[in-house]
Chains A and B, each alone.
Chain A
Amino acid sequence: MMEPGARANLPVYERPLHERIKDRIPAVLLSVLIALIVIPPLLVLLRTSLRDADDMNYTLQHYAGLFNDPHLYTSAWNSIIFAALATLLSLINGGLVAWLVERTNVPFKPLAYLSAIISLGTPYIIYVSAWLYILGRAGPVNSLYRTLIDPMGTFFNVYSITGMVLIEGFLWSPLVFLLMSATFRRSNADMEEAARIAGASVTATVLRISLRLAMPAVLGLGLFVFIRNLEAFDVPVLIGTPSKISLLTTDIYQSMTRVPPQMGHASAFSIVLMMVVAVLLHFYSKIARQAERFASVTGKGYRPRAFDLGKGRWMGAALIIFNALLVLVFPILAILYTSLTPFARPLNWAGLSNLTLDHYRNVFQHAYYLDLAFNTFLVAATSASLAIGLTALGAWMSVRYWRGSGLIEQLTSVPLVFPGIVLGVAMIEMSLRFPLPVYGSLWVISFAFVIRYLPYGMRYSHAGVIQIHRDLEDAAGIAGANRPAILRRVLLPLISPSLIAGWLFIFLIGAKELSIAVLLAGQNSKTIAVAMYDQFVNGAGGEVAAMGAVWTALMTAFTSALYFAMRKHSNFGSGA
Chain B
Amino acid sequence: MAMSNMLSVQGLSKIYMGTTGGVHEANFQLEEGSFFTLLGPSGCGKTTTLRCIAGLETPTRGIIRLGERDFFNSATGANIPLNLRNIGMVFQSYAIWPHLSVFENVAFPLRVGREKFSSAEISRMVAAALDSVDLAGLEQRSATQLSGGQQQRVALARAIVKKPSLLLLDEPLSNLDALLRDDMRVELKSLQGRLGVTTVYVTHDQAEALEMSDQIAVMRSGHIVQLGAPREIYHNPIDGFVASFMGSSNIFPGKVLAAASAQDECSVQLDAGPQILARARVSLQAGARIVVSIRPEDVNVQSPSDASATQNALSAHVKSSGFLGPICNYHLDVFGLSLQARINSHLSHNVGDEVTINFSAQKALALPHEISA
Contact = CB atoms under 8 A, between A and B. Distances in A.
A9 B26 CA distance: 12
Interface string A454-490: 0000000000000001011011111111100100011
A8 interface: yes
A16 B224 contact: no
A8 B11 CA distance: 5
Contacts of B25: 5-8
B60 interface: yes
A12 interface: yes
Contact of B95 (A11, A14, A474): A474
A494 interface: yes
B227 A478 contact: no
B6 to A, nearest CB: 11
A1 B29 CA distance: 7
Interface stretch (B81-89, B132-140, B173-181): B81-89
A11 B75 contact: yes
Interface in B91-133: 91-95, 97-99, 108-109, 112-114
Given A474-B56, A475-B95, A494-B99, A2 B83 contact: no
B163 interface: no
B112 A13 contact: no
Contacts of A14: 77
A10 interface: yes
A466 to B, nearest CB: 16
Contact of B223 (A2, A5, A8, A475): A5
A477 B56 CA distance: 9
A311 interface: no
A490 B97 contact: yes
A5 B225 CA distance: 8
Contact of A481 (B56, B91, B98, B112): B112
B63 interface: yes
Interface string B290-327: 00000000000000000000000000000000000000
B97 A10 contact: no
A478 B54 contact: yes
Contacts of A6: 25, 27
A4 interface: yes
B97 to A, nearest CB: 6
Contacts of A2: 10, 27-29
B217 A4 contact: yes
A13 B14 CA distance: 10
A15 interface: yes
B61 interface: yes
Contacts of B56: 474, 477-478
Contacts of A482: 81, 83, 112
A4 B226 contact: yes
Contacts of A1: 28-29
A110 interface: no
Nearest to B15: A12
B369 to A, nearest CB: 17
Contact of B108 (A9, A469, A489, A493): A489
Contacts, number: 123
A467 B358 CA distance: 57
A13 B59 contact: yes
Contact of A8 (B27, B29, B87, B108): B27
B61 A13 contact: yes
Contacts of A471: 91-95
B79 interface: yes
B75 A10 contact: yes
A254 to B, nearest CB: 52
B74 A13 contact: yes
Interface residues of B, number: 53
Interface string A500-518: 0000000000000000000
Contact of A479 (B26, B63, B72, B109): B109
B112 A11 contact: no
A3 interface: yes
Contact of B83 (A8, A11, A478): A478
Interface in B216-230: 217, 223-227
Interface in B136-173: 155, 158, 162
B74 A11 contact: yes
A478 B75 contact: no
B95 A480 contact: no
B373 interface: yes
B62 interface: yes
B58 interface: yes
Which of B112, B225, B373 has the most CB atoms of chain A within a 10 A radius of its CB?
A: B112
Interface in A1-33: 1-16
Interface in B9-31: 10-11, 25-29
Contacts of A11: 61, 74-75
B61 A477 contact: no
A16 B62 CA distance: 16
B99 to A, nearest CB: 4
Nearest to A471: B95
A430 B61 CA distance: 52
A8 B86 CA distance: 27
A11 B314 CA distance: 55
Contacts of A8: 10-11, 25, 27, 62-63
Contacts of A9: 11
Contacts of B158: 475, 479
A475 B97 CA distance: 9
Contact of A477 (B74, B82, B226): B82
Contacts of B27: 2-6, 8
A13 B97 contact: no
B77 A12 contact: no
Contacts of B63: 8, 10
A481 B10 CA distance: 28
B174 to A, nearest CB: 14
Interface string B63-83: 100000000101101010111
A474 B91 contact: yes
Nearest to B85: A478
A481 B74 CA distance: 25
Interface string B41-67: 000000000000011101111110000
A489 B61 contact: no
A12 B226 contact: no
A358 to B, nearest CB: 50
A12 B73 CA distance: 10
B74 A479 contact: no
Contacts of A469: 93, 95
Nearest to B170: A471
A472 B97 contact: yes
A478 B89 contact: yes
B237 to A, nearest CB: 14
Contacts of B60: 12-13
B242 to A, nearest CB: 12
B236 to A, nearest CB: 15
A480 B161 CA distance: 12
Nearest to A474: B56
Contacts of A474: 56, 82, 91, 95
Contacts of B227: 4
Interface in A114-140: none
A3 B113 CA distance: 37
Contact of A10 (B10, B58, B223): B10
B11 A7 contact: yes
Interface string A207-222: 0000000000000000
6 A-B pairs closest in CB distance: A8-B11, A480-B113, A13-B74, A475-B95, A479-B109, A471-B95
15 contacts: A2-B29, A3-B27, A4-B27, A4-B217, A5-B27, A5-B224, A5-B373, A10-B63, A13-B72, A471-B93, A474-B82, A477-B83, A478-B83, A494-B98, A494-B99
Interface of A: 1-16, 469, 471-472, 474-482, 485, 489-490, 493-494
Given A2-B10, A474-B82, A482-B83, 10 more contacts: A5-B224, A6-B27, A9-B11, A13-B58, A13-B60, A13-B74, A471-B95, A478-B56, A479-B112, A480-B162
